Amino acid sequence: MRIERITSWDDLAAMASYWEAVAGEGVPVFLSWPWVRIWQRHLAKGQPWVLAVWLDGELAGLAPWGIERRRGMRWLRFLGDGPLLPDHLDILAHPAHKMQVGRAAVEHLRRYRRDWDVLSLRSIAQASPLPGLLAASLRCHFRPPIVCPYIPLEGVPDWETFLRTRISASMRKKGLRYLENLLKRRFPGQVSYTRISHPEDLPGAMETFFQLHLRRWHARGMSTPLEDERLRDFHREMAVIALERDWLGLYQLRVGDTVIATQYGFHFQNIFYDYQHAFHPDWGDYSPGRLLIAYIVAECIRLGRREYDFLEGEEAYKFSWTREVRRNPYVVAGTGLRGRLWMEAVSLRDRLAGMRP
């Protein structure tokens, strides 16, 4: 076994074909090579610290980490972490090699702990062996897990079956059907649902998404990461690539020429990732966001998707659709005096937060 540490973006770019080869079934869109490469161009603040594990001359897997200097310390995190808030992150490896690759990566962390100060691995895939391996080799603190609700769709033959078996009668009759019928009665012939599929429609649709998202948050007196032009540039470029690869799930609910709700997500490896959504505040009485989710769930069933993933967050509206959740581990560790003090401070803060009534 040989471990190679990749610490330059040019060297990592030369590994793109290897990355895509080991990023197989079960890897989220947030660890796809296009996502990571576009993130590097627009948002990366440090350098890669990717561990390539080779077995008998063949690449067995990658630990997709990066390092940056923050608060005078060297932080190791997953590539792509930060304001994008990716979920289900993990080592990239074939299932048969994942434990071996994980063990080798963690041993490298332990052996070369003088090369980093803080390890902060957020929203690790729930089934990953990584948290257990880290706990066995390093002094770690497990922060509160990242809760990700999802709708399992395997075995659901059609939308009507889903409504009848998965949705409460009150939401079915007084919610979805009532609201849609009300909207169509008041605006006959004007209600339409669209998935963006043509390149010429994409720029305008993305700007509409940004505008509605910002308007919604600002109306509540709150800020949002999408105020950052660099973040919007990331999504503009990612949406182009996603559309080319048939990953893009950018949807609109319209009344006439007015977009009253929009949803931005990804169809990737038979899962729909509900990344972000927005709706027109003047149309809130019709719950357009809920109606658009219903349309997308129905399309996911028709396309044979096995899951609709709401991603991080315990917002109440998600639990009107599902009770299923994943609890993704959030593991931190520190080395050296400053790193250990930081970890102890985080641990104390989490304990105090857990004691609040």
Q: What is the pLDDT of residues 76-122, one digit of tens each?
A: 999 999 888 999 999 999 889 999 999 999 999 999 999 999 999 99
- The residue count of the chain comes to 357
pLDDT at residue 356, as a whole number: 67
User: For residue 52, is it within any domain?
Assistant: yes
Number of Cβ within 10 Å of residue 169's Cβ equals 10
278 and 195, same structural domain?
A: yes
Do the strands 258-268 and 271-279 form a parallel or antiparallel pair, or are they unpaired? antiparallel
pLDDT at residue 268, as a whole number: 98
User: For residue 320, is it within any domain?
Assistant: no
287 and 180, same structural domain?
A: yes
- The DSSP call for residue 216 is H
166 and 137, same structural domain?
A: no
- 36 contacts 79 by C-beta, under 8 angstroms: yes
Where would I find the beta strands (DSSP E) of 111-270? Answer: 118-121, 140-152, 191-195, 248-255, 258-268
Range 32-39 average pLDDT: 98
User: For residue 269, is it within any domain?
Assistant: yes
3-class DSSP state for residue 279?
strand
Give the helix/strand (H/E) hosting 344: helix 336-355
301 and 334, same structural domain?
A: no
- Whole-angstrom CA distances from 131 to 121, 136, 151 are 9, 9, 25
User: For residue 294, is it within any domain?
Assistant: yes
- The DSSP call for residue 92 is E
State the Cα–Cα distance between residues 97 and 92, nearest whole angstrom.
9
Strand order of the sheet with strand 191-195?
A: 47-48, 65-70, 73-78, 118-121, 325-334, 140-152, 307-309, 271-279, 258-268, 248-255, 191-195
Q: How many helices (H) and strands (E) does the chain have?
A: 12, 15
209 and 74, same structural domain?
A: no
336 and 264, same structural domain?
A: no
Q: Could you report the per-residue pLDDT of 190-204, keeping only the tens digit for each?
A: 999 999 999 999 999
Instruction: Report the candidate in 273, 297, 277 with the shortest Cα–Cα distance to residue 287.
Output: 277
3-class DSSP state for residue 62?
strand
Q: Could you report the per-residue pLDDT of 172-188, keeping only the tens digit for each?
A: 776 788 788 888 899 99
State the Cα–Cα distance between residues 283 and 285, nearest whole angstrom.
6
- 259 contacts 252 by C-beta, under 8 angstroms: yes
Is pLDDT at 256 greater than 80 in this prediction?
yes
User: For residue 314, is it within any domain?
Assistant: no
293 and 170, same structural domain?
A: yes
User: For residue 349, is it within any domain?
Assistant: yes
State the Cα–Cα distance between residues 210 and 277, nearest whole angstrom.
9
178 and 88, same structural domain?
A: no
Using 50, 70 and 90 to split pLDDT, how confident is the model at 357? low
State the Cα–Cα distance between residues 49 and 332, nearest whole angstrom.
17
Greater confidence (251 vs 182) lies with 251
225 and 133, same structural domain?
A: no
State the Cα–Cα distance between residues 151 and 24, nearest whole angstrom.
22
3-class DSSP state for residue 308?
strand
Tokens encoding 348: 């104390």
State the Cα–Cα distance between residues 333 and 133, nearest whole angstrom.
13
Residue 194's CATH number: 3.40.630.30
How many domains is the chain built from?
Answer: 2
Number of Cβ within 10 Å of residue 225's Cβ equals 14
Range 46-66 average pLDDT: 97
142 and 11, same structural domain?
A: yes
Tokens encoding 328: 């993704």
**What single letter denotes the amino acid at residue 328?**
N
Q: What percent of the chain has pLDDT over 70?
A: 99
Is pLDDT at 313 greater than 70 in this prediction?
yes
User: For residue 102, is it within any domain?
Assistant: yes
63 and 20, same structural domain?
A: yes
Q: Could you report the per-residue pLDDT of 260-308, keeping only the tens digit for each?
A: 999 999 999 999 999 999 999 999 999 999 999 999 999 999 999 999 9
Radius of gyration of the chain measured on its C-alpha atoms? 22
Burial (CB < 10 A; 0-12, 13-18, 19+), residue 185, is exposed
3-class DSSP state for residue 220?
coil
Q: Could you report the per-residue pLDDT of 61-73, keeping only the tens digit for each?
A: 999 999 999 999 9
User: For residue 162, is it within any domain?
Assistant: yes
142 and 47, same structural domain?
A: yes
**Residue bearing tokens 């182009």:** 240
3-class DSSP state for residue 138?
coil
Structural domain of residue 289, as residue ranges? 154-305
